[in-house]
Structure 1
């Protein structure tokens, strides 16, 4: 996990320790961290999709999946992102509020 907020990083480390999980928290800004090649990348309330995709793409394994909760602006964010990115999209209505859960695969920069 990458979390630049030290309070949140401390909380995550406590959860990992108390639940005896195999995980690590990197306390750094996402754009400064070496590529992680994650099988799954998720981000909540970090940035609009067009701004988020470069970070997701950087840290995602080639066959990985991005799971991104988005709010009521999901449709416009998807349209804006598709101007510069290609991806397979599965969109599901969120069980909480009027947002969506976006599942993206095969994320590639548009030529």
Structure 2
């Protein structure tokens, strides 16, 4: 694990919405605020992207012991080891320590009224 003291951690809060699922809201946020060319798949369960936007930006790597209101984590660069069902490796705290080249880590949460 390589940390990066320069990586900014940004918490993004999303509300339930009738016209968009949470994965759709995350995709919209990424396309609007991070990369308009984002094309990746976003899972329905709390996941992170192991690779950069240019190669394989999908949020498919499960997060270990994810808090119930965590929707997903998106890194804007760098690479991390993939973690899939059966070998879920990293908790949210672990991910906060492994920027591995990312300048920003976006943590998406479900906002409760």
The alignment's TM-score, normalised by the length of structure 2, stands at 0.25
Which gives a bigger RCO, structure 1 or 2 (Cα 8 Å, sep 6+)? 2
Greater Rg over alpha carbons, structure: 1
When you count strand as a share of all residues, which structure comes out higher? 1
When you count helix as a share of all residues, which structure comes out higher? 1
